Amino acid sequence: MVARGAVPAAAKRPADSHPGGTGNAFMSNLRGWFASILSVSGWALLAAQEPPATLSVAAPEARLSDAPVAAWRRELLELGFAAASAMPVNPHRKNRARAQEEVFEATLALGQEVLAASLLERMEDGWRRGAGSAALAVHCVERGAAAAAEPLLAQARNGLTQAGDDLQPWRRDRIRARLARAELLLGREAAAKASLAGIDPAQVGEFEVALARTAPAEAFAAQLAAFDQVCAAGNFDAIRSAMQVCVSLYDRYHADAERAAQVEQRLVAGYAKLPHLARLESVLEAVAVAVAHDQRSAAARLLQRCEEWFAGGNWLPDDEYPLRGRLAQAWARAGDAERARRLVAEAVAKFYGERDRIPDVFRARGLRQLALASHLAGDAGESERLLLAAVEEGLRNPNSRPRADDLVALCCLLAREGWQPTPALTARLAAIQQGLGQPW
């Protein structure tokens, strides 16, 4: 897959072709606000570097488009959205909105822009519509469809003023960070600066990832120094953003052994007090980057460290079994199917040994991830057995809200991974969606 968190490079054109003036004027203006952006979360050292000269996109396309995917994958997304939308607004407004957003994000990950726009229209949560519009705009800009992004950016800006009481500061800032990312890629420095003014550092990560990918190569040393500075300051939100940036740099410089090693060292050892779960999340993203670039030895090296952190953690069941599944998936993607199958077998044995002590609302989460690991490891029989077990565990709770959550998650997983369910399972999932109702 395209590494989670990786940002496709924007198409390039000469520096003097940026909108709003000559290249020299653009560079001069950009240099002035570069520092103000980066200082939001402590990356001020980059201000001394030459700003990127290639922030714009290629000739624009005016329409949204859907990438070619199998019809059954779209049907799963629609089924998942129907399950999310079955939740009554009162009292499950937030759960409903989060589940709808989960399907929207899976739809966008598959390049289904038209379908994603349709899902946005069906979402009642105003701030999530605004954030989704901005995310869809970024997707359009990154594939060169700048004209298609413009009305979406306008919708996102409207979301800043029309979301009412829902627009808490962190929600507002999430929209603004995505707006700034799109404006950066479009080369519109003033608009990006305006979007970032006063933004909470906890929400700036998405923008910083894009900035890291477009910064000049000469900025690399300053980027690493900035990471060290952020870690020394000890602000957890800023460190999480810095780890995201490091994953982006790891992707960008994967072919440069010296630079990749420096980034890897910071991902593995930067800020010793970082909780195991936070570090595992970031390093597993780096593993996906290594796998995407067919760097199997690097992936195995990182996975060995992940297993050490996992072994040293004190996990609750709702974290433990999904993580066990994700580690096994990573080994399978890295080419070690035998190890993946062994990890799944160990996890399944442990799961059923303590199943009755695990709250029923958490059981399906781990089984879904273990099923996918078996599927990736080529064990068709075990993967189908675990998948069916996950479906049934998702029905143990008599309330429809957790049932809907599990159905949404399963539909999104199958659609994202291109794992086609059997006709019998497809019918079973549709029946579960139809059966959602009181009690919620």
- List CB contacts of 237: < 8 A, sequence separation 6 or more: 41, 201, 202
Q: What is the pLDDT of residues 143-197, one digit of tens each?
A: 999 999 999 999 999 878 765 556 788 888 989 999 999 998 898 888 888 888 8
Distance CA 329, CA 326 (A): 5
**pTM, rounded to two decimals:** 0.85
Q: What is the pLDDT of residues 229-286, one digit of tens each?
A: 989 988 888 888 899 999 999 999 999 999 999 999 999 988 888 888 989 999 999 9
Give the gyration radius of the chain's Cα atoms. Answer: 22
| 24-62 per-residue burial string, b: 16 or more CB within 10 A, e: under 16 | eebbebbeebbeebbebbbbbbbbebebbbbbbbeeebe
Cβ atoms 412, 102 nearer than 8 A: yes
Q: How many CA atoms lie within 13 A of 76 on its CB side?
A: 29
- Is it the case that residue 376 has pLDDT exceeding 70? yes
Q: Which of 122-136, 248-262, 422-436 has the lowest mean pLDDT?
A: 122-136
- Of the candidates 158, 155, 211, 156, the one whose C-alpha atom is nearest the C-alpha of residue 181 is 211
Distance CA 340, CA 71 (A): 30
- Is it the case that residue 13 has pLDDT exceeding 50? no
Distance CA 428, CA 433 (A): 9
Q: Identify the pLDDT of residue 59.
A: 47
Q: What φ, ψ does residue 281 adopt, rounded to 5°?
A: -60, -45
Question: For residue 197, how many other CB atoms are within 10 A of its CB?
Answer: 12
CA separation (Å) from 382 to 328, 347, 386? 14, 13, 6
The pair of three-digit structure tokens given for residue 310, joined into one six-digit string: 């996992």
Residue type, 39: S
The pair of three-digit structure tokens given for residue 67, joined into one six-digit string: 């990438």
Cβ atoms 270, 228 nearer than 8 A: yes
Q: Identify the pLDDT of residue 161.
A: 78
Q: Identify the pLDDT of residue 88.
A: 95
- Is it the case that residue 19 has pLDDT exceeding 80? no
Q: How far is CA 45 from the centre of its chain?
A: 27
Residue owning tokens 């005016």: 62
Distance CA 289, CA 250 (A): 7
Q: Identify the pLDDT of residue 380.
A: 96
Mean pLDDT score of the chain: 85
Q: Identify the pLDDT of residue 241.
A: 86
Question: Is residue 33 classed as helix, strand or coil in its secondary structure?
Answer: helix
